[in-house]
Amino acid sequence: MDTQQQQQQSAIQGAKVLMVGAGGIGCELLKTLALSGFQDIHIIDMDTIEVSNLNRQFLFRRSHVGQSKAKVARDAVLRFRPRINISSYHANVKNPEFDVDFFKQFDVVLNGLDNLDARRHVNRLCLAADVPLVESGTTGFLGQVTVHVKGKTECYECQTKPAPKTYPVCTITSTPTKFVHCIVWAKDLLFAKLFGDKNQDNDLNVRANNAASSSKETEDVFERAEDEDIDQYGRKIYDHVFGYNIEAALSNEETWKNRRRPRPIYSKDVLPESLTQQNGSIQNCSTTDDDDSTVSAMPLLGLKNPQELWGLTQNSLVFIEALKLFFAKRKKEIGHLTFDKDDQLAVEFVTAAANIRAESFGIPLHSLFEAKGIAGNIVHAVATTNAIVAGLIVIEAIKVLKKDADKYRMTYCLEHPSRKMLLMPVEPFEPNPACYVCSKTPLVLEINTQKSKLQDLVDKIVTAKLGMNLPLIMHGASLLYEVGDDLDDIMVANYNANLEKVRSLCSSDTGLDLAVSHMFVFSQFLSELPSPVTNGSILTVEDLQQELSCKINVKHREEFDEEKEPEGMVLSGWTQSPATNGESASTSNNENAVDVTESSSGLENASKKRRLAENQAENDKKETENVESDDDLMEIENPVMVSKKKKRVE
């Protein structure tokens, strides 16, 4: 063994590695790490093993279903590598015990996660702890591995990640144009209304304003009377959501001037008079109450192939039969159910309901197999891709341990050859000077400060978009909001002073205590807070666990487009700061051009280098086919970002 090999082996054997995620990539990664000579491995995963994992997560067996992924993966690898140390944690990586000090003990962190929120959290902890991070993701035949080293390469959040796809409520409830709209309607509105919380507010009770067409069932259509026949109840629901509600929508002529008009569908036009006589008795269903997730309507109807495309009649029969089974076999759960992609009966009901609605609106129907993938946000995983990506992670981890920075590569696994290559290595970029996470660049929030509340800011921006777990919001010296109990005395004093101002606005006999005052502040409009947030205000937002701090420049805006900007506020990256800030900065929102006006020549040079590389990438992109998808971030078992602006290493 030569000197270089000895050094590499020494680096591997002396490394302390943290793995986050023990799923599709994680199983392959743990196996590869153990076989590569790593001696000290720690695994965090909060999930338990499901039957659907077994076709690609090969460390697990059917007997392991319901057990901790991290623990079972550890035990499986120790059988063939008994002398190495593997520590497992069946926990959420966002738990308080996994703080910056915990991360500092590791030489490298390897991610195999399945959601954006956890990825961002780990990225921030690695930055705070100054520990290198190797990211990864797969979607079908596509995969990627990226290296993130503080101060040397861009962090995981240097490039904007698309937010999860959302749809305007009016599109879902009134004017669907895609099958996914029908799935969202069936899953989040109809299923939830029938089998979830009965008191939830949604638009499914909307009926025509014509009193003659109304009946007493309009108000309580989803309530089943104790003596009501289950067939009659099922038909009543069917007629209401697919018939009466469609007629009500058609009464608004303006809506359909430039749209295809939907067709009301009634049970009498599709279903036979007696369903029980045709389909047999529910009591003959072979499934038992102690295995509720396997109860199925398909066997009762002679349907076997989940990839078969059902017609309107078959979908209608499945709809009614599934509804009857919920009341006959799972009545105790009704009122508490939420949709689960692993719940066979729930998937059947949602598929049937979505297809009937799709038929009404002239949208192509989908099979149960396809509908389940859409409803569960599933892109079916490929075990080979996971194995390839796991191998690439270990290669990059070894480079990191050897501090071989010149050889770091981000590698993309392609479905089709590009330049006769299926693996495309890419030079990592330097940190993006416009990144609010690693470069401390301020953000800009356009918001109506007179109509938006502090709670809106916390829920929609600080938590949802910035991914902060223990946020603290300051306006100058005033503390507007905090979560956590380790604030210093000055901050607490300022916060209590704000609450005292709120108390002074209330009459002395209200009996307001601290908690009520807190809630009062939380529900106040931004411009009416004790320390008002208005146009030009600068907020400082911190996360106590992630040790992350960023500034938000507030820009008041009166109106927002309900279709394009449904949240009523827009958060953007580096842009012109408000004049009150006393500083100037400029950039384009176009990722191809990042201009930052700073005194530091280093930032200017980094920006120029980035533009040059991206321009070259645009030239390469013209010759590269099948590399990118419509979305840079694809949500699957593991998200993957296939950037359009990366320069391939020649």
- Residues flagged as binding site for Zn(2+): 155, 158, 435, 438
In SS3 terms, 400-439 reads as HHCCCHHHCCEEEEEEEEECCEEEEEECCCCCCCCCCCCC
Dmax (CA) of the chain: 91
- Residue 425: CB partners within 8 Å, gap ≥ 6? 409, 410, 411, 648, 649
Contact 340, 348 (CB under 8 A): no
- Rounded-to-integer distance, Cα 220 and Cα 209, Å: 16
How far does Cα 118 stand from its chain's mean position?
10
Give the helix/strand (H/E) hosting 87.
strand 85-89
Q: Which residues are annotated as a binding site for ATP?
A: 21-26, 45, 53-56, 69, 114-119
How crowded is residue 298: how many other Cβ atoms within 10 Å of its Cβ?
Answer: 20
Q: Which residues are annotated as a binding site?
A: 21-26, 45, 53-56, 69, 114-119, 155, 158, 435, 438
What is the pairing mode between strands 410-418 and 108-111?
Answer: unpaired
DSSP for 243-259? IIHHHHHHT-GGGGSSS
Buried/exposed 107-116: b ≥16 CB within 10 Å, e otherwise: bbbbbbbbeb
Annotated active-site residue 170? The verdict is: yes
DSSP for 160-197? PPPPPP---HHHHHT---SHHHHHHIIIIIIIHHHHS-
Burial of 315 (0-12, 13-18, 19+ CB in 10 A): buried
Helix or strand or coil: residue 146?
strand
| Active-site option among 27, 126, 170, 285 | 170
- Rounded-to-integer distance, Cα 372 and Cα 340, Å: 10
- Rounded-to-integer distance, Cα 125 and Cα 131, Å: 8
Buried/exposed 560-581: b ≥16 CB within 10 Å, e otherwise: beeeeeebbbbbebbbebbeee
Catalytic residues: 170
